[in-house]
Copies of this chain bind each other. A is one copy, B any other.
Amino acid sequence: MAQLNDIIHQPVRLRIMAILAAVSTERQVTFSFLKGTLGLTDGNLGAHLHKLEEAGFLTITKTFVRQKPQTYVEITEKGRQAFEEHRQALQELLGGA
């Protein structure tokens, strides 16, 4: 039976991973972009990102751009694989049965 990933399945985290997985490797996603796209508070988005970072699915990089703090979020190879497996498990579940 298809194996769903509990960490990724949570709706907000599923959206985060879908966005990160869809972005080409050259482009970087900012915390602000995710916040605006998902309509979340800093605290809520931060908590979900932290959970995904703990699982090794993404990296969070804090830096400065023109003296302003900027936070970048990037999917890891492990995260990409986990998302792909989760996507396939969902497709299996939704498509057939």
Chain A residues within CB distance 8 Å of chain B: 4, 6, 9, 11, 14-15, 18-19, 21-22, 87, 90-91, 93-94, 96-97
Kindly list the 8 A-B residue pairs having the minimum CB-CB distance in the complex, ordered from nearest: A22-B97, A18-B97, A4-B11, A87-B94, A18-B93, A19-B97, A9-B11, A90-B90
Counting chain B CB atoms within 10 Å of each CB, the highest count among A9, A21, A93, A96 belongs to A93
Counting chain B CB atoms within 10 Å of each CB, the highest count among A21, A96, A97 belongs to A97
Listed by A's residue number, 5 A-B pairs whose Cβ atoms lie within 8 Å are: A15-B93, A18-B93, A18-B97, A21-B97, A91-B94
Provide the residues of chain B in CB contact with A11, threshold 8 Å: 4, 6, 9
The closest CB in chain B to the CB of A38 belongs to: B1
The closest CB in chain B to the CB of A83 belongs to: B94
